[in-house]
Amino acid sequence: MRTKISFFLITSLLFSFAAHAAEVKVAVAANFAQPMKEIAVEFEKDTGHKLNLTQGASGKFYAQISNGAPFEVFLSADDETPARLIKEGKAVAGSQFTYAIGRLALWSPDASLIDQGGDVLKTDKFKFIAIANAKVAPYGRAAVQTMQKLGVLMNIEPRVVQGESISQTFQFVTSGNAQLGFVSLSQILENGKLKTGSAWVIPEAMHEQLKQDVVLLNHGKDSQAATALINYLKSDKTRKLIERYGYKLY
């Protein structure tokens, strides 16, 4: 009898836990995809909720959300897009905050190619350079602004290979389709150190600040799991993880 009662209690507790666990549909800017995968693992351990992650360009996500895509939480690569979604009534007012400040880097797998100052951009040492689409990706806009500041944009334009997101831009460089490219610092760091090659971390004064905001979307406004994720991003545990990827905290 005791065995049956114990089994019943354990089964009930497990069922109760499963009943309260939920899945959150999250749209995440491509530059933050890897940190978010780590956050998802810890979030599930700590809350029981799972994250269904989709990565891409912030501008593309804006279009999808505007057309009814069922995302519940949106981690953008800028602060303007979440604010616009709130203004248009597609996101919850008061839920927006800055989860990270991104850093742009010029990177090449070639350890001898990139100098500290970007002089390589004034040479013929490369055939192609990769950048993200400035129309939909904030990191792409920052890359264009940097090249304008350096006075090299017009000369470089014929050699530009454009990715739809910073993730595709990174792939162009790793595959050798471009010899160098403007990427997110988070993509080329491992435990705070450069994974491979050579890199120049772009001074923030050379482009608009990459202030990255998160917002609770209308599809998630009644979801306890979505709200839990928003709060989890503010935790000290999560903030420390974000810093390890080269991001600054606001």
Q: What is the pLDDT of residues 52-61, one digit of tens each?
A: 999 998 999 9
For residues 163 and 221, state if they share a domain. no
Arithmetic mean of pLDDT, 141-156: 95
Arithmetic mean of pLDDT, 159-186: 94
Q: CATH number of the domain at 20, please.
A: 3.40.190.10
What b/e sequence results for 137-175 when a residue is b if at least 16 CB atoms lie within 10 Å of its CB, and e otherwise? bbbbbbbbbbbeebebbeebeeebbbbbbbbbbbbbbbe
Rounded CA gap, 239 and 248, in Å?
9
Please give the DSSP secondary-structure letter assigned to residue 93.
T
Q: What is the pLDDT of residues 61-80, one digit of tens each?
A: 999 999 999 999 999 999 99
Rounded CA gap, 183 and 241, in Å?
20
Q: pLDDT at residue 17 above 70?
A: no
Alpha-carbon dihedral of residues 192, 196, 198, 204, nearest 10 degrees? -30
For residues 179 and 230, state if they share a domain. no
pLDDT above 70 coverage of the chain, percent: 92
Q: What is the mean pLDDT of the chain?
A: 90
Q: pLDDT at residue 14 above 90?
A: no
Rounded CA gap, 201 and 107, in Å?
8
For residues 27 and 82, state if they share a domain. yes
Domain count, the chain: 2
Question: Is residue 249 a part of any domain in this protein?
Answer: no
Question: Is residue 39 a part of any domain in this protein?
Answer: yes
Question: Is residue 250 a part of any domain in this protein?
Answer: no
Arithmetic mean of pLDDT, 187-201: 89
Describe the chain by its helix, strand, coil percentages, rounded to 5.
45, 25, 30
pLDDT at 7: 43
Rounded CA gap, 40 and 74, in Å?
14
Question: Is residue 191 a part of any domain in this protein?
Answer: yes
Which residues are CB-neighbours of 129 under 8 A, at least 6 positions away? 121, 156, 159, 160, 161, 178, 179, 180, 181, 182
pLDDT at 233: 97
- For residue 137, what pLDDT band results from cuts at 50, 70 and 90? confident
For residues 129 and 188, state if they share a domain. yes
pLDDT at 20: 66
Question: Is residue 187 a part of any domain in this protein?
Answer: yes
Question: Is residue 174 a part of any domain in this protein?
Answer: yes
- For residue 21, what pLDDT band results from cuts at 50, 70 and 90? confident
For residues 170 and 233, state if they share a domain. no
Q: What is the pLDDT of residues 84-95, one digit of tens each?
A: 999 999 999 999
Question: Is residue 80 a part of any domain in this protein?
Answer: yes
Q: Which domain holds residue 217?
A: 2-101+210-244
CB atoms within 10 A of CB 15: 10
